[in-house]
Each structure stands twice: as structure tokens, then as C-alpha cells.
Structure 1
Amino acid sequence: MTSRNPLSIILDQNKLTGPNYNDWFRNLKIVLSSEKILYVLDNKPPKEAASDISETELAKLEKWWDHDLQAKSYMLASMSNELQRRFEEAVNAADIHFHLKELYGVQTRSERHATVKELMTTRLRDGTSVHEHGVRMIGLIEKLVGARRGYSW
């Protein structure tokens, strides 16, 4: 039985509700760094083991999945009940991280500037359908509106 990380109390006291994503994520990184498992948030899971995998490689794979399960558990345990239900079926911690960042990550000023620039300079090109162009423009506008609300689409 492993002992509880004393730093995890900051996750208990600051559960993710959505708008507090940046603060929650900063606290999560502190806890996962102390556990030396932060890498699972940014790395894709390894491929399934081949039947002829070496014992060393199998041990590495099992260690990665154990670390991923630990990170995913920290993440889910520190979310509101609504968000837990939404992400409980997620395959791995990196997947949860990606979706949370898409939903709640705040765009930086330079990202907003780049989006505005793209919106203002995008033109309908020859051979492109009006529908595709419209969808692209709507996507850029939604990205800006989401950023204004504190969300990144």
C-alpha cells in the first residue's frame, strides 16, 4: 500500500470546477512533479506490447501505465463530480489533459493576436467552397469568443 502524497491536499482544497483550470493545473503539476510522473500528461501512451517483447520493455510499459493510472486518479479525484462523470471513461491522463486544456485553457495574448490576424487576413481562395470558408471563419470567431470568456476552443 502506498502512502498518500502530502502535497495532494492542495488538490483536495482546490477542486477543478472549470473556470479555475489554470490554478488547478498548476497545483496538479506540483503534485505530479513530486511523484516524478508529470511526463504522462504530455507523452502519448506507449503502443500495446508485442507478443515477443523483452522483459525490460514489458517492465517499462507496465511502469508507464502505473504512472498514468496514478496521474489519472489524482486528476479525477480533484475534479467536481460533473467533470469526474465526463472524464471517468477517458483512457489516459494525457487525453484528459488535452480535453481540459481545450475546454478551459486561457489563450495567451499572442495567441489571440494571431487568431485575430488570421481572421482578418483569411480570404476565400479559388477552388475553395464557400461552406468550408464559412466554417473556418466561424471557428476563428468562436475561438476568440471562447478566449474572451476564459476558454480556449
Structure 2
Amino acid sequence: MANSLSLRSILDANKLTGPNFIDWSRNIKIILKQEKKAYVLDGRILKELSDDATNEEQEAYRVYMDDLDQARYVMLASMAPNLQKQHEAMNVMDIILNLREMFDKESHTKRFDISRELF
């Protein structure tokens, strides 16, 4: 637990404000990998279980949903308040997709400008 808290302090010190999206995204992945929850970011979404699901399937689904919630809360807690409000009703994948639309283009442009200045 102490390791988890110390790594999460990285996110407190580097909240997502917009221009730092790439760094924030990398930090989120590091934290979730350390907590063994990064698999929820792979885009695979489990379907709701049928009524005849086994106990093992029900337990696996419950763990997945708990990990998905935990990842969502970590992401929201590490955002600036205006971004939290904008994303609080979204699931993990929708948050990531929306943030990429908002900020990833900006980071590509900055990288291009820096490269152009260097060369």
C-alpha cells in the first residue's frame, strides 16, 4: 500500500491541465501497471453476464468492473477541476478518447514545431 500511495503522489504533483497530456497519460499507465489494473486500458470491454453465468465468471466480471472504476477514479483525481467536471460522467475509454481528441493533436503540433526549429 505504501508503494501505491507514493506512486500516486506523482499524479498529485502532475495533474492533467491539457498541454501535459502525454506526460499525464504515461504516468497514469505507470500507476495502473504498478497496481495491476492497466489491462482495463486495452480497450476490451466485458459484456454483461447472462443469468446462467458461473460463479467464476461472476467473480471475474466483478473484479474487472472494480478495476475499471478504480482506474476511472485515479484518472479523474489526477485532473484539473475543469477537466474533472467535463469527464466525471464518462467511462475510462470515453475519457481517454475525448482527451486524445482535445490534446493529442496539440502535442503533435508542438513536436513538429520543435523538430522544425532544430533542423
Task: Determine if the TM-score, normalized by the shorter chain, exceeds 0.5.
Answer: yes
> In structure 2, what is the Cα distance between the partners aligned to 1:89 and 1:103?
17
- Percent identity, please: 40
- For 1:18-77, what per-residue CA distance to the aligned partner results, in whole angstroms no more than 9, with x for missing partners? 111001111111101100111111223211111111111111111100100111011000
> Which structure carries more helix by proportion?
2
Where structure 1 has 5 or more consecutive residues not aligned to the other structure, the ranges are 109-146
Structure 2: which 5+ residue stretches go unaligned? 112-119
Alpha-carbon deviations, 1:115-136, whole Å to 9, x = none? xxxxxxxxxxxxxxxxxxxxxx
Equivalent residue letter for 1:94: M
Q: Which has the larger radius of gyration?
A: 1
Name the structure 1 match of 2:68: 68
2:32 corresponds in structure 1 to: 32
Deviations 1:68-97 (A, max 9, x none): 01110110000000000000001x212211
1:1-150 paired onto structure 2 within 5 Å: 5-90=5-90, 92-106=91-105, 147-148=108-109
In the TM superposition, structure 1's runs of 4+ consecutive aligned residues that sit over 4 Å from their partners are none
| SS of equivalent to 2:19 | coil
1:76/1:84 contact within 8 Å kept: yes
Task: Report the count of equivalent residues.
Answer: 110
